[in-house]
Every structure is written in structure tokens, then in C-alpha cells.
Structure 1
């Protein structure tokens, strides 16, 4: 992890931050703010399963980080009143690792497998049979003398989470009975999330203060909660402890988060594109050197939000700034700044 990835508007969370987040997570579907379509669909699936007295279908949750996939897994277990077992794809490198977890599950238990797309192939193949037949074959020995011992496991519900659903093989995706994609939050929803978190943290916040934080949160609940904590610190040290609009603006200016949620790296990328390279096109490696960051940081941290805002285009010829990027920096838009893709140009 680079130093930047720990920044205030990163959608990823450190281990310490996950501990803090646990106190702010909603416990039931009724407490969940936003994601209305997913909430309604999931509520129907869970209610129907409970009425039948059987575990619900396996659930696959996809979407960018910080939108609530882990929270939904915890809500599912809470709504079903069953234990929750948490693990992740990178932690399961061998089929034996998965077999040990599955064999220790109790009936109806919810297994949350985060970053499921990063699971090893042998474990993935074992998971197919476990999800479908609630059975795994444990191989004892090697070579011609190896023996497969069938091991029955109690019915359970797998909740898989991924930020890159395209990396999941088709056979694995097909075994999930319910698939949901989490979308970015609207500013009004983030405002409600800020109000709820502020109440739990015992932080007085006004409507305009919550709106200011929500508007700069890049559509991500995790970032909204993180910005609230930073603004709370500012309000306690340099103000009267109440999070108002002017207090939020001053605090977020100190942490270099502008009115659209762009931070230092985002503005550095746009500044390099517009001022040093005339709007592009410029290669990713060259752009990363220009802003003093690793190319992976620029590509995975800065670019997704800049593309979503319409400030940057990824083209076969390189990265290019849009007219909106020039305007955001307060620069005049050159005549040839707007990139018009040709018939043969596609995004990389």
C-alpha cells in the first residue's frame, strides 16, 4: 500500500478504521440508508427463506469499495439470527484452508467471503460442490494412491463480495441465487448517513454541515464517515464543537478536499495533464512520474473518480483531460482540448 492510499478520500479502509466503522454500521435492513433496490430485493429473499425454515440462496455482492458490502453481510446474518463467519479470498490459498472453514460451520451459518475473486483456483473448484451439494471431497495422499473422502457439511449461506465481478468465472457466478450490485450514493443519502453517524458519535451537526460533508464524499459512505470524523476533530479544536457548513468547509480545505471531493492527487493529475502536457494524450507511466506517484496509485485511486466526474478520458492514445477539467482548474479551454473519439478508438 502506498502512502497515498491511506488518504482521507480513499475508499479502502485500514484494519484500524474497520474497527471504528463497526460501531457505525447499521444492524438491520430498516436501518440501512440508500441502496433501496438492493435492500428491497434482499429483504424479500430473506423473508421468504425464513418462512420456509431454510437457509436463503447464496448471495453475491459487487461494487466499488466503501459502499457497504461487509455491512450487508452482517445485516444478513443478523436478520437470520445466525452466526457470521468472516474470511477473505487472499486468506484461502489452498483447498485445505477452505475445507477446514466449511467443516466447522454450523447449520444455517452465514459465511462471508470478501474479495472472492482473489481466491485460489483449487479452493474455488472445491467451493462449487460445497455451494451446490453441501459436500466437499477431501483428498488424502498424493499421486495414484490418492483417495477422495466425501465430507458432508451442513446447509449454509455464502455471501461473496467483490469489487471486480468480471474476474469471477462463470460457473462460480452461476451458483449464487441472488446477485446485487451496489451503486454510489446520492448526496441526500450521504447527508442522512452523516446525520446517523454523528448521532452515534455524539457530534452535533447541522443540516448544511451534513450536506457539505456528503457532497464531498465521492458517493461513498465510508468516505462520508471518515470526513465526518476529521471535521469533528476540527470543530472540537478550532471551533465550538458544532459541525456547521462553514466549519466543514474550513476543515475539508485543511485536508485538501475540494467542493467536488477531489483531493491533492486528483488535482495533481489534472494539473499535470492540462499545464504540462496540454491536455494530453499522455501515457499512464509518464503521468505517474509527473505527479510523483506509482502508476498503480494513479490508475486505481485517482482515475476511476476522475473518469466518473467526466474530467479525464482513457483513450488508446493515452490519458486526456476533458474541457470540464480545464474549467475546474480555472483555465481557459484550448480549441483542441476536447477529444472526439474516432470510429476506431475504444477505451482501454
Structure 2
């Protein structure tokens, strides 16, 4: 089944559109002032010393700007950027090939770093500290480790699940930035900036409407903006107003709180098929015809953040607020003792 218009893992053509809207400097990077200020200090100090910046670990949900910050770090330091991901590095040789090909001062962006294999991870420890990798030649008692010096580089690791990183790896990062969900005002500024770059005549009320339905995530805000633009173009409209924006978002099944088709399907399944819960993740995923990982990573965190769903030791439970958002009457606690506890 296809993901909805607010799926946080975009298709390649969506990535290209998003890349054009990315801020290119820390001054343009809105919504994360604490991380921006701290990272700016790290980069300025490195420039002053004439050295490569400390390794940087960025954590937070998808779509908040981890990749953008990696690009900004390389741009601010005036060095190349090499992008790869944890799932692509399953053997130490994969990592050794990447590291040996870096140039002096280059930024290596390692997305989903928590999904890197353990043998490659252990090789990364030495590379981060001593800028050296040991390549093992041969097998068994006759195996020989050949040390290979690599240029000084800055590793920028990104993860959505920082708890899965082992302590030895986390401790080797000189700076850790935790990205939080954005406030509506910050998202409104991002939407306004993006609309100007896309040539969309967007008024303030429409920008606020898009921002308020974007789940605190710039990637989703920019995607909804592009869908509103498409709707306006197809309907031969000029300037985008609030009525048109709401009509477009309704067409794409994004409700006033930002819930999309998958969110509502999950919530409705818990309430109508399972009496409010508790229900296990795999059963819930089957009931909405989605992968369990998609339900857990895409829909569940947002529903929990809104207070519409709870995780309990026995499974997922819809809250009273979740029932009422769907226009349903919640059962009393006597009908289901697992509810509203």
C-alpha cells in the first residue's frame, strides 16, 4: 500500500525537490536555535584553530534537518561532503574503502548510523580517534593487520534512535545535537521562505494553516506546500488563499491536527476493531495493511505525542481524546479496565 502525502521517507523525486529548498547556512536554518548556536561555536572554533571540527552526532525524528545540517557543516568549512548510510556499510571493507577515499578535512555524513554492522562499527572507533584503519589480510593464525593512515575528517552521524548506539560510539563524538519538533511559528517561516523560492503566492493565513498541519516537521511542511501549489495550478487559481489551502489539504486527507490516512486508520482500528485496545503491534499492522515498522516509526510517535494513543505492557490503547477526535464515544473504564489508566 502506498504511503500518504506526509510519509517522512520520500521518494527520489521528492528528495530532489526538498534539496532545492534546504537552507545553506546556519543563519538560514530556522527552528533549532540551541543546536544552531552550539554547532556554530564548534565550527567557528575549528576555523580559528585551522583544524577539522569534532565529530558530530545528530539525533531526532525523520525530517527535522539532520541531512541539511551535515550539508551546512561542509559548506561552512568549505570542504567536500561524502554521503553514505549505515545499511550500506555491512562489512569493514566497505568502511575502509570509503575512509581511504576521503580528502583532507572532508565531511563524511553517515545516515542511520545505528544500522551499521558491528564489525564496521569497531573499525570506525579507531578511524574517529586516530585517523587510521587496520585492514586484516588473510585468515586464521596467519592473518595480518595492515595499518592504513587516512586523512583527518569530520564524521557527522545521524540517527532516529540514539538509544541503539553503543556507548563507545556515542562517546567518540565531540558534539551531540538533539533536534526537536518545530513550533508552528518556525514552520510558518519555513513555509513562507519555501513558497517564495517556488514562486507560490501564499498569504499569511495559508502559510499558518500548512504549518499547523505539518506535525512539527519541515520536510512535511514543504511537501504539503508543494501539494497546495499543485492544487492551485490545476484549478487555475492565482494567489493561494486559506479556502484553497484547506480544500487542497482535505483532498490529500490531512486533517487540522496533521493526521493523515495512516494515522486515522491506526486509531480507527484500535477503537472500532479492538474495542480501544490493548492490541499488539503486529496485529495492529495487519489490520491496517501496513508493515509493523511503518506503523511504529511513522504513525505511532505522532499519535502518542498528541495524546491519542498509549503504549502499555499489554499493547497499544486509544485514549479518550483519540476516541473523541474520531467523533466516537469512548467506553467507560468499567467496560474495559485497560482504558484511560
> TM > 0.5 between the two?
yes
Range 137-146 or range 164-173, more displaced: 137-146
Provide the C-alpha distance between the structure 2 equivalents of 1:214 and 1:49, rounded to a whole number of angstroms. 36
| 1:260 lines up with 2:257 in the alignment | yes
Which residue does 1:113 correspond to in 2?
110
Tell whether the 8 Å contact from 1:94 to 1:120 is kept in structure 2 after alignment. Answer: yes
- Report how far residue 239 of structure 1 moved: 4.5
> In the superposition, relative to structure 1, how do residues 283 and 13 fare at CA in structure 2: closer, same or farther (>3 Å)?
same
> In the superposition, relative to structure 1, how do residues 97 and 293 fare at CA in structure 2: closer, same or farther (>3 Å)?
closer
Equivalenced residue count is 338
Tell whether the 8 Å contact from 1:87 to 1:112 is kept in structure 2 after alignment. Answer: yes
- Report how far residue 320 of structure 1 moved: 1.1
Which residue does 2:156 correspond to in 1?
159
SS of 1:161's partner is strand
Provide the C-alpha distance between the structure 2 equivalents of 1:105 and 1:298, rounded to a whole number of angstroms. 38
Provide the C-alpha distance between the structure 2 equivalents of 1:96 and 1:285, rounded to a whole number of angstroms. 36
Q: What CA deviation, in whole Å up to 9, does each residue of 1:56-86 have, x standing for no partner? A: 1000001111000000000000000111111
Q: Which of 136, 141, 145 pairs up with 2:142?
A: 145
SS of 1:23's partner is helix
Which residue does 2:61 correspond to in 1?
64
* 1:192-207 equivalence runs, <5 A: 192-207=189-204
Provide the C-alpha distance between the structure 2 equivalents of 1:306 and 1:16, rounded to a whole number of angstroms. 28
| 1:247 lines up with 2:244 in the alignment | yes
Range 269-278 or range 125-134, more displaced: 269-278
Q: What CA deviation, in whole Å up to 9, does each residue of 1:281-332 have, x standing for no partner? A: 2233333333333333322221111111100011122221111112111223
- Report how far residue 16 of structure 1 moved: 2.2
Which residue does 2:81 correspond to in 1?
84
Q: What CA deviation, in whole Å up to 9, does each residue of 1:235-269 have, x standing for no partner? A: 11115132221111000100111000111121122
Provide the C-alpha distance between the structure 1 equivalents of 2:29 and 2:216, rounded to a whole number of angstroms. 15
Which residue does 1:270 correspond to in 2?
267
SS of 2:27's partner is helix
Structure 2 residue ranges without an equivalent (≥5): none
- Report how far residue 340 of structure 1 moved: 4.7
Provide the C-alpha distance between the structure 2 equivalents of 1:308 and 1:216, rounded to a whole number of angstroms. 14
Provide the C-alpha distance between the structure 2 equivalents of 1:50 and 1:76, rounded to a whole number of angstroms. 12
TM-score between the two structures when normalised by the length of structure 2: 0.95
| 1:215 lines up with 2:199 in the alignment | no
Aligned CA RMSD, in angstroms, stands at: 1.5
Tell whether the 8 Å contact from 1:232 to 1:241 is kept in structure 2 after alignment. Answer: no
Provide the C-alpha distance between the structure 1 equivalents of 2:53 and 2:143, rounded to a whole number of angstroms. 35
Provide the C-alpha distance between the structure 1 equivalents of 2:126 and 2:293, rounded to a whole number of angstroms. 36
Which residue does 2:36 correspond to in 1?
39
Tell whether the 8 Å contact from 2:309 to 2:318 is kept in structure 1 after alignment. Answer: yes
Structure 1 residue ranges without an equivalent (≥5): 342-348
> In the superposition, relative to structure 1, how do residues 72 and 248 fare at CA in structure 2: closer, same or farther (>3 Å)?
same
